[in-house]
Amino acid sequence: MAGKLYSVQYLRGLAALLVVVAHASAHPLAEPTYLQARLGEFGVYLFFVISGFIMVAISGSGQFSALEFLKRRAIRIVPLYWIFTTLAALLALLLPALFKSTVFTVPHYLQSMLFIPHEAPGRGGTSPLLSLGWTLNYEVFFYLAFAVLAGLAATGRVVALTVGFVALYLAGAVLQPTDPLLGFYMDHAVLAFVAGAWVGLGHRKGVFARLPKAALPVLAGLALVGAIVAFGLDQTPYETAPAFVALVVLAVALLVVGLAREAALPRSAWLEQQGDASYATYLTHMFVVGAVVGVGTRLLPEGPLSYFGMVSVAIGLALVIGVVVHERIEKPLLRLLHRRPAEVRAAVPAQ
């Protein structure tokens, strides 16, 4: 993948923003709405589709070094995740009243740091200590699966990944495993990476650069249908299969439209910055949201003005803090851990 794809950067920034908006608007409420959950789900699946796309796009058409690939992925995602998981652990241990359901235990902390899905104490489900880290558990699983296929050519990798992840999902649907680790990996979420991988393969083969203009209204129509199904027709409080498919279709359509119109996209330094900082924003935003809502609920009277004021401040501050963490912590860490400065500039974000 030669050069920066601004469309992908903008979509990464959008994905982070959607997750921030979903959590900031839901946190002050006793019972969040289905719409907030769906916004968060869309942000996550957009991240997964982009991740599948990027890994195929950057890995070349032939074989690649699995160890080098995993090393670069680890350098990209692990240090920042460990920092904020440890921060969450310290807060849960020293100031447990700050959290609604997070509980510190040593096994919980260690399994979270090692990206091992497990039953969360005091909360249920397979949420790690830094609850947002559940998406990183999927990312790491995807990276490991992708590295196993390093000996294949690009098309073979994508086909093998598709067969493997579809088989995994179907096995889960049939067996309904009760083990938290098996149930986690046999979920439909892994299929979002597959969808992105096929877009990545199409990009490598130049399909979208040759896409006729007549295809764009079709893609826009698919995106519209996906949005209507996920956000309008399916209003269940939990994620259903139709909603998942609709969200992935919407994500893929937006990604393909962006790639097809890459040359015509306006350049926005702010949007590019938000894309660059999206991983930092994702990992840090709940600390910001929790602090803003915690202070706001104590100082402000109840009512819609206070609610929208807290939500607006939390969203804006989360985006600012994400950029600061990216510039002051994430980028220096990359410079330190990569051997050559060029590798830092070429490092592709995990999400």
Per-residue model confidence as pLDDT tens digits over 120-149: 997 778 899 999 999 999 999 999 999 999
Domain interval for residue 202: 26-268
Any idea which of 19-33, 72-86, 186-200, 278-292 has the lowest mean pLDDT? 19-33
Q: What pLDDT score does 340 carry?
A: 53
Let me know if residue 177 belongs to a domain. yes
Confidence of residue 239 (pLDDT cuts 50, 70, 90): confident
The number of folded domains in the chain is 1
Angle at the Cα of 172 from the Cα atoms of 166 and 174, rounded to 5 degrees: 105
| Residue indicated by tokens 């993948």 | 1
Question: Distance between the two ends of the chain, CA-based, in angstroms?
Answer: 16
Per-residue pLDDT for 350 more than 80? Answer: no
Inter-helix orientation angle 154-175/134-148, to 10°: 130
Q: Closest Cα to residue 93, out of 119, 124, 131, 129?
A: 129
Let me know if residue 298 belongs to a domain. no
Q: How many CA atoms lie within 13 A of 318 on its CB side?
A: 32
Q: What pLDDT score does 1 carry?
A: 53
Q: What pLDDT score does 339 carry?
A: 66
Q: Can you tell me the mean pLDDT for 195-206?
A: 96
- Whole-prediction pTM value? 0.94
Give the SS3 label for residue 69.
helix
Amino acid at 98: L
Let me know if residue 332 belongs to a domain. no
Confidence of residue 4 (pLDDT cuts 50, 70, 90): confident
Let me know if residue 187 belongs to a domain. yes
Per-residue pLDDT for 76 more than 70? Answer: yes
Per-residue pLDDT for 342 more than 60? Answer: no
Alpha-helical runs (H) found in the chain: 6-26, 34-58, 66-94, 106-113, 134-148, 154-175, 180-185, 190-204, 215-228, 241-260, 269-276, 278-299, 304-325, 331-337, 341-346
Per-residue pLDDT for 162 more than 60? Answer: yes
Q: How many CA atoms lie within 13 A of 7 on its CB side?
A: 20
